[in-house]
Amino acid sequence: MAVGLEAPKTLLPVAGVRLSSTAAGIRYQGRDDLVLMAFEAGTRMAGVFTRNAFCAAPVLVAREHLAAGQPRYWLINSGNANAGTGAQGLSDARRSCALVAAQAGLAAEAVLPFSTGVIGEPLAVDAIERALPALYSGLSADGWLAAARAIMTTDTVPKGASREVALSSGTVTLTGIAKGAGMIRPDMATMLAFVATDARIEQAPLQGLLQAAVDGSFNRITVDGDTSTNDACMLAATGASGIGIQDPEDEARFAEALNALMRELAHAIVRDGEGATKFVTIEVGEAADTPEALAVAYTVAHSPLVKTALFASDPNWGRILAAVGRSGLADLDVNAVRIWLDDVQIVRDGGRAPEYREEDGQRVMAREEILVRIELGRGMARERVWTCDLSHDYVRINAEYRT
Could you list the active site residues? 190
DSSP string, 27-84: S-SSS--EEEEEE-TT-EEEEEE---TT--HHHHHHHHHHHHS---EEEEEEEE---S
CA angle 248, 253, 255 (to 5 degrees): 90
* Number of neighbours of residue 361 by Cβ within 10 angstroms: 19
Q: Which residues, in sequence order, are CB contacts of 206 under 8 Å at separation 6+? A: 44, 45, 46, 235, 237
From 343, 303, 335, 336, select the one nearest 320 (Cα to Cα): 303
Which three-class secondary structure state does DSSP give residue 187?
Answer: coil
Q: Which residues, in sequence order, are CB contacts of 215 under 8 Å at separation 6+? A: none
The radius of gyration computed from the CA coordinates of the chain, to the nearest angstrom, equals 22
Report the phi/psi class of residue 131: left, alpha or beta, with left for phi > 0 and alpha for psi in -120 to 50. Answer: alpha
Query: Do residues 275 and 394 make contact, with C-beta atoms less than 8 angstroms apart?
Result: yes
How far apart are the C-alpha atoms of 89 and 120, rounded to whole Å?
Answer: 9
